[in-house]
Amino acid sequence: MRSHHDLGGLPAGRVERDEHDYAEWEQRVDALMMLLSHKDRQLLKVDELRRNIEALGAEAYDRMRYYERWMHAIVQVLIQRGVITIDELGRKMAEGVQDGNG
């Protein structure tokens, strides 16, 4: 069975010549991926990231934007590896909302 992300040869529409600058948070997601996968830290392997993106399920994979998928995957790997816990992440995210940063 073909995995949802394994797209080569499937029918699709026109290539939208989309170009846009990335928001700061997206650039920081990219940076985090580079830093965490760097040989000095080795806190995630790029293939762990990809596996988590591939496991999103078709609807989420299609709906989510590129850096949303990466952010989701980075968090999954950090939780899987025990670097952060779900509880502390949830609390930290809630702090952000209360401060009006939501």
Measured from the CB of residue 79, what is the shortest distance to another protein in angstroms?
10
Measured from the CB of residue 8, what is the shortest distance to another protein in angstroms?
4
Residues in region 21-50 near another protein by CB under 8 A: 22-25, 27-32, 34-36, 41, 43, 45-48, 50
- 2: number of CA atoms within 13 Å, CB side? 8
Cα radius of gyration (the chain): 16
Helix pair angle (46-54, 66-81), 10° resolution: 110
Torsion sign, CA atoms 58, 60, 65, 67: negative
Query: How far is Cα 102 from Cα 99, in angstroms, rounded to an integer?
Result: 8
Measured from the CB of residue 84, what is the shortest distance to another protein in angstroms?
5
Check residue 60 for interaction with another protein (CB under 8 A).
no
Query: How far is Cα 37 from Cα 33, in angstroms, rounded to an integer?
Result: 6
Check residue 97 for interaction with another protein (CB under 8 A).
yes
Q: Which residues bind another protein (CB under 8 A)?
A: 1-3, 5-20, 22-25, 27-32, 34-36, 41, 43, 45-48, 50-51, 53-54, 62, 66-68, 71-72, 74-75, 78, 80-81, 83-84, 88-89, 92-98, 100-102
